[in-house]
A and B are shown apart, each in its own frame.
Chain A
Amino acid sequence: EVQVVESGGGLVQPGGSLRLSCAASGFTFSSYEMNWVRQAPGKGLEWVSYISSSGGTIYYADSVKGRFTISRDNAKNSLYLQMNSLRAEDTAIYYCARDVSGHDAFDIWGQGTMVTVSS
């Protein structure tokens, strides 16, 4: 079964750090671009970051640039999001999403992991 499973969410104080992971299975992870997308409670979807299949090309939303770092380990079929200097407005469900090559649509999503930034 093609799937991605996120982990690493939790409660963190403002200014703190958290590292999210996404484990992929059922497909050739190293061939796919990947993304992180988030959704604040009761709100819409916000794209966060993109990484190419090799890791050589990376993009960020302005709202997280300089604070978040996306990375991947193709040998471990895993995607990561290192989140530093967290703010209350980063509180959201974070989804790992596979990219449809050539279209940048997101065809496989995980169940999400909740990040809560609060004192």
Chain B
Amino acid sequence: DIQMTQSPSSLSASVGDRVTITCRASQSISNYLNWYQQKPGKAPKLLIYAASSLQSGVPSSFSGSGSGTDFTLTISSLQPEDFATYYCQQSYSTPWTFGQGTKVEIK
């Protein structure tokens, strides 16, 4: 199975900050990497698919990059509604696997 490791596990940031979350795969997954946002008590929401494609309706403040084993999710200017937990997911091979999550909290 492909292991997905996110860093950091949590971070504190202020509104307006630029935030970067990293996801590393245990083997090359090309660009088969997706990012989700989950708020407490809610279902996850797809933000980015294929490493850098913005899902319809997602603000352009979110962007994704990377290929192979190293990927990043960047929020260019953190907004109050962006405080949540973020997960990466590889869709290169089954079993699809998720990172452990990165919780973005208010500083």
User: Which of A61, A62, A103, A111 has a CB less than 8 Å from the CB of B32?
Assistant: A103
- Please, how many residues of chain B have a CB less than 8 angstroms from a CB on the other chain? 23
Q: Would you call A105 and B46 a contact (CB within 8 A)?
A: yes
Chain A's interface size range is 20 to 34
Is A62 in contact with B95, judged by CB distance below 8 angstroms? yes
The contact of A107 among B55, B87, B95, B97, by CB within 8 Å, is B55
Best-buried of B87, B96, B101 by chain A (most CB within 10 Å): B96
Which residues from A are CB-within-8-Å of B96? 35, 47, 50, 104
* Residue ID in chain B nearest A65 by CB atoms: B95
Residues of A32-86 contacting chain B, CB below 8 A: 35, 37, 44-47, 50, 59, 61-62
Q: Does A95 contact B (CB under 8 A)?
A: yes
Q: State which residues 24-64 of B face A: CB under 8 Å.
A: 32, 34, 36, 38, 43-46, 49-50, 55
Residue positions of B touching A, CB distance < 8 A: 1, 32, 34, 36, 38, 43-46, 49-50, 55, 87, 89, 91, 94-101
